[in-house]
Amino acid sequence: MREDQEEYRAVLVRVWERIFDPSALLPELGESFRERARAQAAAAGVIADALCREAERRFSVCAWREDESDGSWNGDCGVKWSLEGGGPEHHAMSFCPGCGRCLQEVRP
């Protein structure tokens, strides 16, 4: 996980902990309630991971460059794509079919 993703995940977890802090529960609520609280806190970590992955996918780009030797297009993610008559922008491609990130055509 990249540093900015780790920071984003940490913020999400802190927000969740402020909304629902199982350590602040009164002992009178019982062990089953505290167990559910611990499970929900663990779920918050899973949710934060999923949100980080989705944010990375939506807000990052996969830069595509034309390979002049064969006319194909290569994405940062390793995908190689052949297009007839123009580049990705000409074909209204918005997302990389290899990684799902936003596609950005890079011209030399």
DSSP H or E segment with residue 64 = strand 61-66
pLDDT at 85: 85
HSE-up (13 A, CA, CB side) for residue 108: 4
CA distance 94 to 41: 36
Q: What is the pLDDT of residues 16-57, one digit of tens each?
A: 666 655 555 555 556 677 777 777 777 777 776 677 677 776
Nearest to 104 by CA among 76, 54, 64: 64
HSE-up (13 A, CA, CB side) for residue 20: 15
Average pLDDT estimate for 83-106: 89
CA distance 10 to 24: 20
CA distance 105 to 69: 17
